[in-house]
Amino acid sequence: MGLSLLAFTPWAFVAVHQLLIRPEGILHSMPLSWHTADTLTIDYLGRPIILGIGLIIVGSLSFKNRLQWNQSPAVWYPVLWLGVPIAISIVVYPLVTVLTDRNLALLLLPIAILVGHGIVSFRPPGRALLAVLVLVTGLASTDSRYIQPDWRAMAHYAARNYPTGEPVLMDVRGGDKALNYYLQRYLPPDTQIISLNQWRIDYGIYFQGPVQDLLQANNGFWVAYWGDGPYEMDSIYQNYGYTQTAMRRFYHLGAPIDWYHYDRLPASDEILGTFGDSIRLHRVKTVFEVRRGEPLTVSLWWSAAEKPTISYSISVFLLDSDGVLRTQHDSAPQNGQSPTNTWTPNQVVLDSHMLEIPKGLPRGDYSLAVKVYNSADGQILHILADGAIEYLIIGTVQVR
């Protein structure tokens, strides 16, 4: 009994932790059925299944004098480690649903040990042939159930369109560790990255408290959402004065995964410049200090008094003290995801541009400017209030 409990220990820590969080059982537990057994067997042993099962059986036996179970602790402990968690999962299933592939993933180590014992039970060259066969089948086996979303691309998008200083939220089903990993790689080191799922676990019924504190302490944020149906947190954000200003949709096996950006709307008179008769620039956010060879993200908030009939392009650029263009980025708003001719009157749109600062650019101060033009014919929307000038200076960037 003591040895059985010892074998059960590696799996038990995970199961007990999950039961403390959800005493009623794990919501995504797999059904207790032959189909589940077949699925898990393929997941852990690969194809052909008979190869893995055969090597486990051979590794558990002894052929010294007669065919018998191997009495070596190096064998019977992995056997117990493999068998006891499976048996307990089956026994407790009617009471608590804990049968998940992630829990049983800890069985991969005893499986590997027993397969190794099975391989060394053979003499060369059969031993080498089996080792190569196991290696090749392992590398060639794939499981479409676990094709992951392109978290790298999603994190890269957030980084390219990240208004400096804002938090980034994740509301992603099935765990968000992978997305968090890439966000930490691509976003500035001091970025606050928050898992709303983890907050729901940590705070329980008090979940709304830290969310309220977060919303009150900021004016904007990105949130990644992957779930069933419309985003239920949208109404909560709206109650705290936020409006969605950007959206980018990705797909994973046909299911949508969305990035949303929410902002507190600028005051109606918070206008830095009006381009043409209608398009208004409300806010600018950037770091205004950058090293040579590093990108500079410039975030702009736009609206239009009337719906534009043309899809205009936005140009963000740096000018030196002589007015010479040094670097620029041109695109329709949100890299073409939100053309101006799709805007509704007074809708506020977040639009980020990433300027590549050349490595050879001399150090010093540069004027950061923006203009709006029709890419089809090059016609510029002038800033009429200031004598029909072509572009608006929105700040000074120090290049180090």
Within the chain, where are the H helices? 2-21, 34-45, 49-60, 73-92, 101-104, 108-120, 126-140, 151-160, 177-186, 196-203, 208-217, 234-239
CATH numbers and ranges of domains, the chain = 2-146 (no CATH), 151-264 (3.40.190), 273-399 (2.60.40.3880)
Q: Which of 83, 100, 87 is nearest to 22 (CA)?
A: 100
pLDDT band at 397 (very low <50, low <70, confident <90, very high): very high
Max avg pLDDT among 122-126, 229-233, 300-304:
300-304
Question: Which pLDDT score, from 0 to 100, does residue 350 have?
Answer: 96
Alpha-carbon distance of 208 to 236, in angstroms, equals 9
Higher pLDDT, 143 or 205: 205
- Region 209-223 average pLDDT: 96
Average pLDDT, the chain: 86
**Is the pTM here over 0.75, yes or no?**
no
- Region 94-116 average pLDDT: 77
- Region 44-58 average pLDDT: 82
Question: Which pLDDT score, from 0 to 100, does residue 124 have?
Answer: 85
Which amino acid is residue 17, in one-letter code? Answer: H
Question: What are the residues facing 263 on neighbouring strands?
Answer: 220, 243
Instruction: Extract the tokens encoding 157.
Output: 């998008």
Q: Which of 234, 259, 264 is nearest to 249 (CA)?
A: 259
Alpha-carbon distance of 100 to 15, in angstroms, equals 10
What percentage of residues in the chain have a pLDDT greater than 70? 86
Alpha-carbon distance of 158 to 181, in angstroms, equals 13
Question: Which pLDDT score, from 0 to 100, does residue 1 have?
Answer: 44
Please check the confidence at residue 7 and state whether its pLDDT lies above 90.
Answer: no
Per-residue pLDDT tens digits for 12-49: 676 666 666 665 555 556 788 888 888 788 777 777 78
Per-residue pLDDT tens digits for 344-384: 999 999 999 999 999 999 999 999 999 999 999 999 999 87
Per-residue pLDDT tens digits for 124-181: 888 888 888 888 877 776 555 557 789 999 999 999 999 999 999 999 976 688 899 9
Range 69-77, long-range pairs (CB < 8 A, 24+ positions): 70/117, 74/113, 74/117, 75/114, 75/117, 77/3, 77/6, 77/7, 77/110
Q: Which of 215, 124, 221, 213 is nearest to 170 (CA)?
A: 221
Alpha-carbon distance of 259 to 248, in angstroms, equals 5
